[in-house]
Amino acid sequence: MSDGVLPRVTPRSSFRARLRNFEPITLLWLLLAAVLLVLVAFPLIKLLISSFETREGVFTLGNYATAYGRARYIDALFNSLKLGALSASIAVLLAVPMAWAVSRTDMPGKGFTWAMVMAAFVMPPYLGAVGWILLAGPNSGFLNITWRAITGASDPLFNVYSFAGLATVIALHSFPLVFIFVKSALDLVSSEMEDAANILGAGTFATMRKVTLPLVWPAILGGFIIVFLETIALFGTPAIIGIPARINVVTTQLWQFFEYPVRMEVAAAYAMPLLLITIAMIGVQKLMLSRKGFVSQTGKGGERRQIKLGAWRWALFGWCGLVGTLSVLLPLLVLLQASFAKAWGRGLSLDNLTIRNYRLLLFEHEMALTSVWNTIWFSAAAATIALVLALLVAYIAVRRLSRFADALGFLAMAPFVIPGIVMAIGFYAAYASPPLALYGTALLIILAFAARFLPIAYANANAAMRAVHPEMEEAVRILGGGRLTAIRHVTAPLVKKALLGGWLIVFIVASRELSAAVFLVGPRTRTMSVLLYDLSEAGNFEVLAAFGGILLVVTMVFVAIGMKLAGRDFMLRRH
């Protein structure tokens, strides 16, 4: 192409004028917009388009007809909704008293409660599911055996292979989300409002019910919605517990559409309601909160005193201890027992002890250590990408450097409403095939992880950025430094610690991610979570438990590093 052929559309002078006003920051946001489009928008658009296309690319509504053409498929959809609602309700019941106790009262053992909440958050849900199979299998679970031995009953105390069992196990690993939300909201409610109620004659619990909790209603609702959304997007636990319990849900059904012949288009059509439900939930939340005032924080500050509970504080501590025991201590204990057992059903005895399961994984298993390594570096790379992106977007958004700052911020937060499994199918649709042919590569998984957890990174970066007043940067610029100098020497050091916390959270949630990974891994790029899933169908709980032990040790190392570098509560701050 030569110049002579192309018509000159733009007059030169105006182009030059533009060039003169061109700021490097424009280039940056153009670049950011491009990256966000690749990571977030394109996979979704591709998913939407595929849902209306045949494999040959011809328009059709057939995928939707197939996806909703069978009662079983629709049942799965309703099962997911019911499961989400039940799990979220249980999670709220578990978490709200704990949050209230830790935030507002003189309950003892707050450190212990914190540790339990944190551990429940860190433990991958599918691992907890395996633990609960060992605990509450109707005939062989330790809890049920003990129950029968004590009471002589013939029915099990608790059957994990049931709808309630599935919902409870999910809730036991998602309640920390509600806890974090509600506790940070409660921290802001000043005691004066409670005092007012007390003066008018309300007791402690009436005050809590009528004043304190209604004030944090948005946080409770927010927590409920998050758990609901997490639950309907969960793959591991429904696969491990749901199949024996005969419960089919959306995610396990999506997996079936990937059976031969791979019906990606039907999966895309079937995934659409998941996306719509998520968006609707966020809408409902906005609607429900819009017409009431929940201002508990005013300019006056206000005093925050601990409520003296008297003997009741032990009851609350008992509750926290119970939740901690059920969500963390008991599952860990049985997993540990199984991982060192020759045959876990034989229980604790010396001749049943072995390190064979660990030896097999560490020295004889071709993939186990590679998967540990994959997990660490995929998660680290994804966390880095997500955080760098988030930081740049947050910088532009907070400093209002571009008219399009809000659009960028919106794109960065958008994956929040996309269930992981839907995002994975979008990535498969968009990037697995040639020309890019990324299927089975590390890059595809890293990008999917980065996109999936971008909102966490963005919320973090945004909060950190807001805390730094622009005047400090302005000082540098007045003294002749460029914007980049200012960022490097002033802003970056100031936000370092907050960002480190954000990086670690992304790292940890990425390292336990299963629902996106399971569709994208190749033979050499399996992560620990996927290998654990593969092991879970190999009929060997002892090795499975041992691998779970390794996974937990790896995660714990990083949590410990995080606590050391970013503060003890870095995972539980609300951003």
Partner 1 sequence: MILISKRDFLRASAAAAALGAAGRARAQEMPAHERTLHEAARREGELTWYSGQYNAETSEAVGRAFTERYAGVRVNVVRSTSQVAFQRLSQDTRAGVAQCDVFSSTDFGHYSLLKRENRLLQYRPVNDEQLLPQLRRADPDGYYHTSFMGLYLMAHNTTKVSEADAPKKWTDVLDPRWRDQLAVGHPGFSGAIGIWAVQMRKMYGWDYFTRLERNRPQIGRSSMDPVTGLNAGERSVGIAVPSGTTLLSAQRGNPLRLIYPEEGVLATLSPSAIPRNAPHPNAAKLFMEFTASRYLSDTIRQTFGDPINPMVEPPPGSRAINDLKLIYPTQEEAERGVPEVRELWRDTFGV
Chain contacts with partner 1 (rule: CB under 8 A): 72, 137-140, 161, 239, 242-244, 246-248, 252, 256, 258-262, 264, 342-346, 352, 360, 364-367, 370, 373, 377, 428, 432-434, 437, 439-440, 519, 522-524, 526, 534-535, 537-541, 543
Non-local (6+) Cβ contacts of 40 within 8 A are 411, 412, 414, 415, 451, 454
Q: Which is nearer to partner 1, 140 or 485 (CB)?
A: 140
Q: Which is nearer to partner 1, 218 or 440 (CB)?
A: 440
How far apart are the C-alpha atoms of 567 and 504, rounded to whole Å?
Answer: 11
Least distance in angstroms from the C-beta of 531 to partner 1: 10
Q: Decide if 533 contacts 239 (C-beta within 8 A).
A: yes
Q: Which is nearer to partner 1, 209 or 524 (CB)?
A: 524
- The answer to whether the bond into 435 is cis (omega within 30° of 0) is yes
Least distance in angstroms from the C-beta of 61 to partner 1: 22
Non-local (6+) Cβ contacts of 214 within 8 A are none
Q: Which is nearer to partner 1, 175 or 503 (CB)?
A: 503
Least distance in angstroms from the C-beta of 497 to partner 1: 24
Least distance in angstroms from the C-beta of 460 to partner 1: 24
How far apart are the C-alpha atoms of 415 and 390, rounded to whole Å?
Answer: 13
DSSP conformation class of 128 = H
Q: Which is nearer to partner 1, 73 or 121 (CB)?
A: 73
Least distance in angstroms from the C-beta of 170 to partner 1: 17
Q: Which is nearer to partner 1, 32 or 543 (CB)?
A: 543
Q: Which is nearer to partner 1, 59 or 260 (CB)?
A: 260
Non-local (6+) Cβ contacts of 259 within 8 A are none
How far apart are the C-alpha atoms of 220 and 204, rounded to whole Å?
Answer: 20
Least distance in angstroms from the C-beta of 227 to partner 1: 24
Q: Which is nearer to partner 1, 183 or 263 (CB)?
A: 263
Q: Decide if 233 contacts 251 (C-beta within 8 A).
A: yes
Number of H helices, E strands in the chain: 30, 0
Which segments of 291-355 does DSSP mark as H helices, in order? 312-324, 330-339
Amino acid at 151: T
How far apart are the C-alpha atoms of 31 and 330, rounded to whole Å?
Answer: 49
Least distance in angstroms from the C-beta of 71 to partner 1: 9
Least distance in angstroms from the C-beta of 62 to partner 1: 18
Q: Decide if 96 contacts 228 (C-beta within 8 A).
A: no
Question: DSSP readout, 404-435?
Answer: THHHHHHHHHGGGGS-HHHHHHHHIIIIISTT
Q: Which is nearer to partner 1, 322 or 561 (CB)?
A: 561
How far apart are the C-alpha atoms of 534 and 236, rounded to whole Å?
Answer: 11
Least distance in angstroms from the C-beta of 337 to partner 1: 12
How far apart are the C-alpha atoms of 50 and 169, rounded to whole Å?
Answer: 35
The phi, psi pair for 467, rounded to 5°, reads -75, -15
Q: Which is nearer to partner 1, 207 or 248 (CB)?
A: 248
The phi, psi pair for 488, rounded to 5°, reads -65, -45
Least distance in angstroms from the C-beta of 8 to partner 1: 42
